[in-house]
A and B are shown apart, each in its own frame.
Chain A
Amino acid sequence: DAGVIQSPRHEVTEMGQEVTLRCKPISGHDYLFWYRQTMMRGLELLIYFNNNVPIDDSGMPEDRFSAKMPNASFSTLKIQPSEPRDSAVYFCASSPRRRLNTEAFFGQGTRLTVV
């Protein structure tokens, strides 16, 4: 398997524009996570899915953020409208179903810059 694949790797957009980040998890993994990494706040969990269903979205900062997982092999994180403070690296991770060991496999991240 190629691992977790994210696109694009880099995104530069103007304030107010819609941004869509994409993720393809590892085949067979039941859990998918979206994280945001900034210098100020470190690594934050935004939302995670189990079998394509959103389980916990309490980390989503505002209504401007939304995430979907229409099938087991694809997820999107959308920001509309984007703001400069959304600039960060966004990571997608996936994890197989295990009772106790929830090891996560990370993608390479999308570096978002909102100007």
Chain B
Amino acid sequence: GEDVEQSLFLSVREGDSSVINCTYTDSSSTYLYWYKQEPGAGLQLLTYIFSNMDMKQDQRLTVLLNKKDKHLSLRIADTQTGDSAIYFCAESISGANNLFFGTGTRLTVIP
């Protein structure tokens, strides 16, 4: 079955880089996503990567995908206090119409 795992908490100092990790079990993933949830708000898509890519960069965000190890990471460079939020990884699977979400990682940025 589909199992997406993340660590629950991460704290970093402002200006440092943050790396949020995610592992998944289904090898038929087609797209993998990172969503951000700010306090009191819904989930917003940050970025996504197609499963045949191994890296995608978008300004301060870098997504790395190791398909062999089924490992996905999100690196945020120069982390700001406004980056404090819960970050969810999710996967879509060939033949399925819904996304499978991880538990979310709560990122706290210390000024």
Contact = CB atoms under 8 A, between A and B. Distances in A.
Nearest to B48: A103
B66 interface: no
A102 B97 contact: yes
B45 interface: yes
Given A107-B42, A108-B41, A101 B92 contact: yes
Contacts of A31: 97-98
A100 interface: yes
B104 A101 contact: no
Most chain B beta-carbon contacts within 10 A, residue among A45, A48, A91, A102: A102
A12 interface: no
A97 B22 CA distance: 26
Contacts of B99: 102, 104
15 contacts: A31-B98, A42-B101, A43-B88, A43-B103, A43-B104, A100-B30, A100-B31, A100-B94, A101-B48, A102-B92, A104-B98, A106-B35, A106-B43, A107-B42, A108-B41
Interface of B: 30-31, 33, 35, 41-45, 48, 88, 92, 94, 96-99, 101-104
